[in-house]
Structure 1
């Protein structure tokens, strides 16, 4: 089944469709670092399929540089990712590039379109801040470009992912946006069903609720997708189980070697599945001494079942003026439960994701964040630690996406 991936990010949603039954024709992503990650991931799969993974390992260990790696990757693989913003000026050119790809590969039909426009405009967190920008915020209406792709390529199905804040979001006319969106999808010839999906019910070690809209051209009833998806429930790992084979390290350290502890069955089957690829990006941020003192207190309290709030700390630690809101600005993970929702703000600081082990006294590493999102350990995020955290926080968990692809195959086979 041929897929076009829009607003791709680092490729979390794409990753679940990277099976023999699907062909990812193109990714379209405006962020430069995320686009580089997508290109590298396509390179990884090309090298894996051609028994050349040693080149990928040499790149990860800095034995060869970017240009040396990609000199071994065919241009058609490199050009799968279109690093472009989708807007009125670029969409015709994007269509033209994809059309060339379709013709070159003698593809008769596009079967599916997946992706979700940037969610910041709909998020309840930034809603008050963005209220004054509604008249000029083009992000609100990016879904209309998604609809243009549906009209152009007429796929059998589409998956549209976004934050659940979209359910209550009001447009510049102070009217609910979602009913208008649904009407526009219907006018384009698509039936759809929507549902809030909690990733933790599908084996993802994270409480993460997102709005999933599944649409079809009438070939099947869209409600069947969610019925099929509900047969794929799975108990997730706890954070402790997810991290148990990773090394101990401290604030500011990077340790790219596994510990002697055995990985959980889930990690062995889904996270550490390519033994020859070395561990990477297991790097923790350096922290200020005051923050580290707070981390100890927060993590210790969490291990006793207590969520310690900022205004409950000793006054000597309270350096922020705001002591009335965001009182859980420091938050530790619970070893005996799934993680709370991982969001892109982790690229700014790690205060909301303190490691549960008090002895390590740090926020989580890039690799640990990736594991919470169920990215395999062989997945590398370009181009910096900050951009890696941002890409991870914005992603759809690949393990959840794999459940999406499995449900679709079960319906269409």
Structure 2
């Protein structure tokens, strides 16, 4: 099963006490890398096409390296070979001898139902998403695996990867990995069950070389909450084509979270020590580029709970009483609506509040000017624009949502890079959407983690990332499997 002996050499090296060497493909800013590094893995290289995300990865993992510029270089995986990558980074020797673990998540936009709908609209073709080149990038990941022969791999993606136009991409990945000599399984895991203040469900696929293990494990839940109905519905759609009679082949039912576990971490538990932001309500913030490097004191001198302590004192990313990146979007039209929204309210409720406010303002204006304004009048249109958001509440019912302080946040998306209405702060007195640093906290990025680029780029990187705390638990599980011989179960 290991004719060249490369797997045997790698596992012997690891069991003799050396660190596992990690390659992160489609790395983004480094959520997976961070979780694995906390478990002692050594990040030797990453491939990321987005320049700002690639720079963030280098800033956090190779800041003092003599070849920092090479580590910060954006790379297209379709044009980057393992040999070329390692040569650029000054790694000498055969490519197959360099890497013990490969991790990463091929771009998920092609697999999501949201992404499919957008492609259908653009091309007026119900099956346009099937021709999206991003849906084929997992094959590049597999080429790296075949070339580098790692001991184990981890792949992450959205649940819809299991039902891509009726095709289960995860099964195709496992078919190839099995041919390459790996034992592999995949499942769905929700981060809220693993101590994160966010309900984020993703597909995780783990493979270990068959000469090491013939069984795969996934981390067991540590926390519990009864998920909202929408999460169960999305899960059912993703699992629609899983053959229930052949689940033992690749799919593993997700580990069950039970009510006797710790309660889920809430948004307030995660965010309550971060700076209060109200300057926008006093015209103290202007439109323009937000300063991501400005240092601000915490609102609480000391952490208030274990989660906040971890965010402040994550090894290698500790803070000194100040944080950066606590910047928000300037949305003056919407502050009164944010303030009046109730916890859990979504766009239909927000629109109703705005329309009511508009009618009140219109009535006052008409009284002041002693005349009626038609819907076509300049005054009517201007007041409407200044008061009421323009979106159709039937088409976009979930576009806005006010977080609940006592519950975990809903899933953070890459769309945060365009707007943050999906995560309106639970504190009505602040009447705003979440800041970059608050988004990072909800994703379990420590407060000392740096994001390259301006505010929108940082939001996008955070929304695209795998939460580091989830990654850490997967890293620990993989390490444990590599430490456990085949005959010990």
Q: TM-score, with normalisation over the residues of structure 2?
A: 0.70
Partners of 1:29 and 1:337 in 2: CA distance:
33
What is the distance in 2 between the residues matched to 1:222 and 1:82?
38
Any idea what SS the aligned residue of 1:160 has? strand
Superposition deviation, residue 364 in structure 1: 0.6
**Mapping of residues 389-408 of structure 1, within 5 Å:** 389-408=459-478
1:368 matched to 2:429: no
Unaligned segments of structure 1, at least 5 residues: 45-72
1:166 matches 2:161: yes
1:148 and 2:160 equivalent?
no
Pair 1:137-2:132 in alignment: yes
1:241 is displaced (CA, Å) by 1.4
Match of 1:343 in 2: 413
SS at match of 2:22: strand
- Alpha-carbon separation, structure 1, partners of 2:424 and 2:75: 35
Unaligned runs of 5+ residues in structure 2 are 1-19, 224-261, 286-293, 359-386, 484-489
Residue 139 of structure 1 deviates from its aligned partner by 0.6
Per the alignment, in what secondary structure is the counterpart of residue 40 of structure 1? Answer: helix
Q: Is residue 274 of structure 2 the alignment partner of residue 242 of structure 1?
A: no
Q: Is the 8 A contact 1:9 1:34 kept in 2?
A: yes
**What is the rounded CA distance, in whole Å, between the counterparts of 1:379 and 1:137 in structure 2?**
33
In the aligned structure 2, how far is the partner of 1:292 from the partner of 1:323? 19
Distance 1:94 1:124, change over 3 A: farther
Name 2:87's counterpart in structure 1: 97
Counterpart check, 1:352 vs 2:422? yes
Counterparts in 2 of 1:277 and 1:39: CA distance versus 1, 3 Å: farther
Cα 1:41–1:277 change in 2 (3 A) is: farther
Q: Once the 2 structures are TM-superposed, how far is the Cα of residue 95 of structure 1 from its aligned partner? A: 4.8
Taking structure 1 as the reference length, what is the TM-score of the superposition? Answer: 0.82
Query: In angstroms, what is the RMSD of aligned CA positions?
Result: 2.6
Q: Is contact 2:295-2:322 (8 Å) kept?
A: no
Q: Whole-Å Cα distance in 1 between the matches of residues 148 and 435 of structure 2? A: 40
Question: Does 2:234 correspond to 1:215?
Answer: no
CA distance in 2: counterparts of 1:407 and 1:177, whole angstroms: 24
- State how far apart, in whole Å, the 1-side matches of 2:191 and 2:135 are: 25
Is 2:101 the counterpart of 1:112? Answer: yes
User: In the TM superposition, what are the counterparts of 1:35-74 in structure 2 within 5 Å?
Assistant: 35-43=54-62, 73-74=64-65
Partner secondary structure for residue 43 of structure 2: strand
- Asked if residue 323 in structure 1 is aligned to residue 393 in structure 2, the reply is yes
Equivalent position SS for 2:114: coil
Contact 1:247 1:255 in 2 (8 A): no
**Pairwise CA distance, 1:177:** 3.7
Aligned length: 373
Given the superposition, is the C-alpha separation of residues 320 and 307 from structure 1 closer, same or farther in structure 2, using an over 3 Å criterion? closer
Larger radius of gyration: 2
Deviations 1:215-246 (A, max 9, x none): 111144475321xx116556543111111211
Structure 2 residue matching 1:272: 3-state secondary structure? helix
Partner of 2:115: 126
Query: Is the 1:255–1:283 contact (alpha carbons within 8 Å) kept by the matching residues of 2?
Result: no
Deviation at 1:343, TM superposition (A): 0.6
Residue 289 of structure 2 is aligned to residue 294 of structure 1: no
Per the alignment, do residues 92 and 408 of structure 1 end up closer, same or farther by CA in structure 2, a change over 3 Å counting?
A: closer
Q: How does 1:198-213 map to 2 (within 5 A)?
A: 198-213=190-205
Q: 1:221 to 1:326 in 2, by over 3 A?
A: farther
| Whole-Å separation in 1 of the counterparts to 2:93 and 2:321 | 35
Query: Would the alpha carbon gap of residues 369 and 28 (structure 1) be closer, same or farther in structure 2, given more than 3 Å must change?
Result: same
Determine whether 1:283 maps to 2:322: no
Moved more, 252-261 or 125-134: 252-261
User: In 2, distance between residues paired with 1:175 and 1:238?
Assistant: 36
The Cα offsets for residues 145-178 of structure 1, whole Å up to 9 and x where unpaired, read as 11111111111110000001111112xxx64444
Report the secondary structure of 2:61's partner residue: helix
Deviates more, 1:280-289 or 1:139-148: 280-289
Q: Say if 2:270 and 2:308, in contact at 8 Å, map to a contact too.
A: no
Contact 1:119 1:163 in 2 (8 A): yes
Distance 1:407 1:146 in 2: 21
Distance 2:145 2:469 in 1: 26
CA contact (8 A) 2:96 2:149 kept: no
